[in-house]
């Protein structure tokens, strides 16, 4: 994947990711008087997910914009791009949790047991509750399981052996 950015007809950068991943361009116009933030910027970032148990995040320099600027994003064929301004591996993320593998493994197992029980209760609720009650319960359980990611993903980033097979190659 590769894209080029031009502002007012002038080429500014070419970003690329070889293989699986994500490549994003974000146009951010801010009017936040409380924070004294009145910026207009284009940010290009990417995540390379080609390694099963490691993501590489890349950011290119933000491009400041002014009123009247014309931004052109062009999707290009595969090839080389400009080097990113910043690149970091998911295993280096400062938000990773738990240096002790045994403790991390225990947390993963506790959450897996909790999720298994919640799904069992969801199946029982489907059999015994009116459909509208079951749907409310199912959505609430889904929110809980989603929130578990706040613990699991920072553990997975640090302890690659704990990543379940079904999450290999996904965003960490």
* pLDDT at residue 75 in the model: 97
Distance in angstroms (rounded) separating the CA atoms of residues 137 and 41: 42
* pLDDT at residue 120 in the model: 96
| 19, 91, 110, 155, 165 from 106: Cα distances, Å | 34, 19, 6, 11, 18
CB 163 within 8 A of CB 53: yes
Distance in angstroms (rounded) separating the CA atoms of residues 91 and 54: 7
* pLDDT at residue 121 in the model: 97
> What's the gap between Cα 115 and its chain centre?
22
52 phi and psi, to 5 degrees? -60, -35
Distance in angstroms (rounded) separating the CA atoms of residues 117 and 97: 25
CB atoms within 10 A of CB 48: 21
* pLDDT at residue 1 in the model: 95
* pLDDT at residue 111 in the model: 96
Going by C-alpha positions, the residue among 146, 152, 170, 149 that lies closest to residue 53 is 170
At residue 137, the 3 state secondary structure works out as helix
CB 160 within 8 A of CB 91: yes
* pLDDT at residue 113 in the model: 97
* pLDDT at residue 36 in the model: 85
- Which two structure tokens, joined as six digits, stand for 130? 């009116």
* pLDDT at residue 129 in the model: 96
Distance in angstroms (rounded) separating the CA atoms of residues 63 and 83: 15
> What's the gap between Cα 56 and its chain centre?
11
108 phi and psi, to 5 degrees? -60, -45
* pLDDT at residue 32 in the model: 87
Going by C-alpha positions, the residue among 88, 55, 89, 52 that lies closest to residue 163 is 52
Low-confidence ranges of the chain (pLDDT < 50): none
């Amino acid at each position: 994947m590769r894209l080029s950015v031009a502002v007012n007809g002038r080429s500014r950068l070419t970003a690329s990711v070889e293989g699986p991943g994500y490549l994003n361009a974000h146009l951010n116009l801010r009017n936040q008087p409380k924070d004294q933030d009145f910026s207009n910027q284009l940010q290009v970032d990417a995540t390379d997910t080609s390694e099963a148990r490691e993501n590489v995040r890349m950011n290119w320099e933000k491009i400041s914009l002014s009123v009247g600027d014309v931004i052109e994003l062009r999707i290009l064929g595969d090839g080389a791009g400009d080097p990113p301004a910043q690149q970091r591996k998911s295993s280096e993320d400062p938000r990773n949790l738990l240096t002790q593998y045994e403790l991390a493994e225990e947390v993963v197992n506790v959450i897996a047991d909790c999720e298994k029980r919640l799904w069992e209760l969801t199946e029982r609720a489907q059999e015994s509750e009116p459909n509208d009650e079951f749907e409310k319960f199912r959505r609430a359980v889904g929110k809980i399981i989603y929130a578990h990611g706040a613990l699991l993903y920072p553990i997975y980033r640090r302890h690659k052996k704990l990543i379940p097979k079904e999450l290999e190659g996904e965003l960490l």
